[in-house]
């Protein structure tokens, strides 16, 4: 089945130690998103890629970076995790929303990050 895969599902890192979360998709979607979700709140968009075009949200801290080496993969790098970065990180994909039709997002299962 076509899907969005996130690894690992649970990640524990130390304060200040860089960590990378990964996302892959078999849907061949142009757009990939990274969200941060805390305590059953609404997902907060960090950034998205339209193909290789990176779009950062204005309030996303510089501590968060992303890479998309190809259509299928996207990575979230947290350069120096703080205690406040502990959260669920969700990857999502969608078709190019400029095309006709309202396309929904497809979400991965998320990676729960714990910072000790």
Partner 1 sequence: AQSVAQPEDQVNVAEGNPLTVKCTYSVSGNPYLFWYVQYPNRGLQFLLKYITGDNLVKGSYGFEAEFNKSQTSFHLKKPSALVSDSALYFCAVRDGNYGQNFVFGPGTRLSVLP
**Closer CB to partner 1, residue 83 or residue 102?**
102
Binding mask 32-51 for partner 1 (x = CB under 8 A): --------xxxx-x--x-x-
Q: How far is the CB of 61 from partner 1 (least distance, A)?
A: 18
- Work out whether 110 is an interface residue with partner 1 (CB under 8 A): yes
Bridge partners (DSSP) of residue 112 are 10, 88
Residue 69 vs residues 56, 74, 77, 88, 112: alpha-carbon distances, Å? 17, 7, 13, 23, 23
- Work out whether 5 is an interface residue with partner 1 (CB under 8 A): no
Cα distance between residue 18 and residue 52, in whole Å = 23
Compute the CA torsion angle 27, 28, 31, 32 (nearest 10 deg): 60
Cα distance between residue 67 and residue 37, in whole Å = 20
**Closer CB to partner 1, residue 9 or residue 17?**
9
Give residues 61-80 in contact with partner 1 (rule: CB under 8 A): none
Helical spans, DSSP H, in the chain: none
Report the residue from 92, 93, 113, 115 that binds partner 1 according to the rule CB under 8 A. 92
- Work out whether 56 is an interface residue with partner 1 (CB under 8 A): no
Binding site for partner 1 (CB under 8 A): 4, 6, 31, 40-43, 45, 48, 50, 55, 88, 90, 92, 94, 96-98, 101-102, 104-110, 112
């Amino acid at each position: 089945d076509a899907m969005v895969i996130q690894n690992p599902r649970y990640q524990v890192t130390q304060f200040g130690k860089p960590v990378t979360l990964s996302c892959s998709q078999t849907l061949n979607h142009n757009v990939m998103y990274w969200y941060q979700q805390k305590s059953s709140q609404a997902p907060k968009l960090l950034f998205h890629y339209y193909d290789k075009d990176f779009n950062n949200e204005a309030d996303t801290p510089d501590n968060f970076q992303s890479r998309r080496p190809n259509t299928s993969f996207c990575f979230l790098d947290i350069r120096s995790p703080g205690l406040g970065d502990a959260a669920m990180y969700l990857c999502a994909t969608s078709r190019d929303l400029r095309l006709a039709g309202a396309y929904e997002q497809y979400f991965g299962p998320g990676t729960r990050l714990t910072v000790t």
